[in-house]
């Protein structure tokens, strides 16, 4: 029901950035090579995500907006095994229950255009479209005034959108992303599969030039990525990204491990820029219960922390730092 969807939306869809995250993850899961994100007024007025992925078959469009109608996996433990980001089948119905949604999607050939508002399907009809999905969300939270009040300033909401798109781009260097707000381009990546190039696209070339490649592994974990020279630091932790099998995660112990790798080479209160990829057996990951799936627990976390710290330590030593 719409009410159940609205309650779910309260958990999954906190703010415009959550909508962007869910829509972009769907586009990634659909095998897209190019994903364009267009927002107005930090997403409060409009969020549009255009992809060139698989599209949704005409007879599956209605189902895609039904709760728990994920086409992706049947077992939550599959989450890190298959490389799909979504798994709950909650995002589309949640978003459609608290906003106005128009989706045009095609698997190639004649596709479908569907218009849903506040959980009610307004129209659904055949549409000419290229392969892929183009989804536009307007009037976010029009029927949940309490949620609107809780939002921060437009600048803060926009910063959260930029942050999530950056991190999704770090996890997918092979996909070309672009993000624009009110007609102004906020970021763009080339999609050539080169993580350092993505870091340059996101943080600027001068910063990318001050990054060191790191590599490390043991029996359970493989670690790779880039960390900044100790001279390039920031006053907050936000410039450290940890990706687990391609998925951005939040894990305090692992960011601590990055910092620990620098030992005394970092000034107190300063933090490096870092993008650290971890490849590991998905069975060593406990998927956290939270619907946004960003916080995960890892068995053998102390061991993994040491692989990360050691990879950084070794590269700094190689550079005589």
**Smallest gap, in angstroms, from Cβ of residue 6 to ligand ADP?**
15
> Cβ of residue 122: shortest distance to ligand ADP, in angstroms?
19
Which tokens is 213 given?
């490649």
Q: Decide if residue 86 touches Mg ion (CB under 5 A).
A: yes
User: Is position 104 an interface residue for ligand ADP (rule: CB under 6 A)?
Assistant: no
Strands 34-40 and 176-181: parallel
88 is a contact residue toward ligand ADP (CB under 6 A) = yes
Contact in structure between 115 and 124 (CB atoms under 8 Å): yes
| Contacts of ligand ADP in 36-55 (CB under 6 A) | 51, 53-55
Closest approach of ligand ADP to the CB of residue 99, in Å: 14
What is 243-265 written as a DSSP string? EETTEEEB-HHHHHHHHHHTGGG
Going by C-beta distance under 8 Å and a sequence separation of 6 or more, which residues neighbour residue 203?
Answer: 239, 273
| Three-state SS at 320 | coil
- Both tokens of 136, joined, read 């536009």
- Among residue numbers 19 through 48, which ones bind Mg ion (CB under 5 A)? 26
Looking at the Cβ atoms of 26 and 97, the one nearer to Mg ion is: 26
Q: If binding is defined by CB under 6 A, does position 115 make contact with ligand ADP?
A: no
State which of residues 13, 19, 91, 223 lies at the interface with ligand ADP (CB under 6 A): 91
Q: How far apart are CA 312 and CA 321, in angstroms?
A: 11
Which position's Cβ is nearest Mg ion?
A: 86
How many alpha carbons fall within 13 Å on the CB side of residue 61?
A: 28
What are the residues facing 181 on neighbouring strands?
Answer: 39, 184
Which residues in the 64-83 window bind ligand ADP by CB under 6 A?
Answer: 64, 70-72
Q: Which stretch binds ligand ADP (CB under 6 A): 88-96, 203-211, 234-242, 256-264?
A: 88-96
Least Å distance, CB 197 to ligand ADP, is: 25
**Please, is 94 exposed, middle or buried when counting C-beta atoms within 10 Å of its C-beta (0-12, 13-18, 19+)?**
buried
Taking the least distance from each CB to Mg ion, the nearer of 76 and 152 is: 76
Please state, in angstroms and rounded to a whole number, the distance separating the CA atoms of residues 269 and 248: 24
DSSP bridge pairs for 215: 224
Residue 263, phi-psi category: left (phi > 0), alpha (psi -120 to 50), beta (remainder): left
Which residue of this chain has its Cβ atom nearest to ligand ADP in the complex? 86
Closer CB to Mg ion, residue 73 or residue 190? 73
The one segment of 87-95, 136-144, 168-176, 220-228 that binds Mg ion by CB under 5 A: 87-95
- Tell me: does residue 93 bind Mg ion (CB under 5 A): no
CA gap 321, 307 in Å, rounded? 19
- Contact status: 129 vs ligand ADP (CB under 6 A): no
For Cα atoms 100, 21, 156, give the angle at the middle one, nearest 5 degrees.
90
Of 8, 18, 22, 276, which one interacts with ligand ADP (CB under 6 A)?
A: 22
By the rule CB under 6 A, 131 interacts with ligand ADP: no
Q: Does 87 bind ligand ADP (CB under 6 A)?
A: yes
Residue ranges in contact with Mg ion by CB under 5 A: 26, 86, 91
Residue ranges in contact with ligand ADP by CB under 6 A: 22, 26-27, 30, 51, 53-56, 64, 70-72, 86-92, 133
């Amino acid at each position: 029901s719409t009410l159940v969807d609205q309650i779910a939306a309260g958990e999954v869809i906190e703010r415009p950035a959550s909508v962007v995250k869910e829509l972009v993850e769907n586009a990634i899961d659909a095998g897209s090579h190019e994903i364009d994100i267009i927002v107005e007024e930090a997403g409060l007025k409009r969020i549009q995500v255009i992809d060139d992925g698989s599209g949704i078959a005409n007879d599956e469009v209605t189902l895609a907006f039904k709760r728990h109608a994920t086409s992706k996996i049947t077992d939550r433990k599959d989450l890190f095994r298959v490389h799909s980001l979504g798994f709950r089948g909650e995002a589309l119905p949640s978003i459609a229950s608290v906003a106005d949604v128009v989706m045009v999607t095609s698997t190639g050939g004649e596709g479908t255009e569907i218009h849903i508002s506040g959980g009610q399907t307004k129209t659904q009809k055949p549409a000419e479209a290229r392969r892929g999905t183009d989804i536009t969300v307007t009037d976010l939270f029009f029927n949940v005034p309490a949620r609107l009040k809780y939002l921060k300033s437009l600048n803060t909401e926009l910063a959260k959108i930029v942050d999530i798109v950056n991190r999704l781009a770090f996890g997918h260097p092979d996909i070309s992303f672009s993000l624009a707000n009110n007609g102004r381009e906020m970021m763009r990546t080339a999609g050539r599969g080169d993580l350092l190039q993505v870091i340059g696209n996101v943080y600027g070339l001068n910063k990318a030039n001050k990054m060191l490649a790191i590599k490390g592994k043991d029996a359970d974990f493989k670690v790779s990525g880039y960390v900044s020279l100790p001279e390039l630091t920031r006053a907050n932790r936000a410039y450290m990204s940890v990706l687990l099998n391609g998925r951005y995660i939040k894990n305090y112990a692992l960011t601590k491990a990055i910092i620990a790798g620098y030992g005394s080479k970092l000034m107190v209160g300063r933090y490096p820029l870092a993008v650290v990829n971890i490849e590991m057996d998905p069975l060593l990951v406990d998927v956290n219960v939270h619907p946004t799936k960003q916080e995960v627990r890892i068995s053998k976390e102390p061991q993994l922390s040491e692989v990360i710290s050691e990879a950084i330590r070794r590269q700094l030593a190689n550079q005589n730092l």
